[in-house]
Amino acid sequence: MKRILAMILGLGLLAPACADPVAPPAPTPVEPTVTETFSDTLVQLGSNTHLFTVQQIGGLKVSISGVTPDAAVTFGIGTQSPLLGCSLIIQKQRDPGAAAQLLGTATATGQFCVMVFDAGAVLAEPVTYTVTVLHS
C-alpha cells in the first residue's frame, strides 16, 4: 500500500512538468513617435500608394489634409506585399470640407502602406493632398 501511495505521489509531482507551456505575454503597444508625411497628385479614377515601415507594435494614426481643389477622396491603411501590392485593411472617404483620419494599432512590425484613391467620386481635375502617418 505504501508503494502505491509513493508511486501516486511521485506521478503527481511529475504531472505539472507535462502541462502545456504558458504563452509569453503579448508585447505592450507603444505610443506612436515616428511621423512621415507624403504629398502627391491624384488624377481622376487614379490611386497613389505610399510605403512606411513600423518598427514596434503600437499606435497608428493616418490623416489626410490639404486636398486642393477640395474634393472627395478615399484613403486607407494596408499591408504591402511584393505580389499583391497594397492590400487595404481599413479605408475611409474624406468628404469635401471635412477633416479625416484613421486610428488603429499596428499589431505587427513590417512594411505598411497608405493608399489614396478616387473611389468613383470622379474628380473633375487632378487634386493635390498631404497624408501624415504617425506610427511606432
In a domain, 92, yes or no: yes
Query: Domain with 40 in it: what CATH number?
Result: 2.60.120.380
In a domain, 125, yes or no: yes
For the chain, the domain total comes to: 1
Res. 29 pLDDT band, cuts 50 70 90: confident
Asked if 128 contacts 51 with a C-beta cutoff of 8 angstroms, the reply is: no
In a domain, 68, yes or no: yes
C-alpha cell at 13: 509531482
In a domain, 55, yes or no: yes
For residues 88-113, average pLDDT:
94
Q: How many CB atoms lie under 10 A from the CB of residue 60? A: 22
C-alpha cell at 111: 512594411
In a domain, 12, yes or no: no
In a domain, 11, yes or no: no
Q: pLDDT at position 9, please?
A: 46
Range of the domain at 70: 25-135
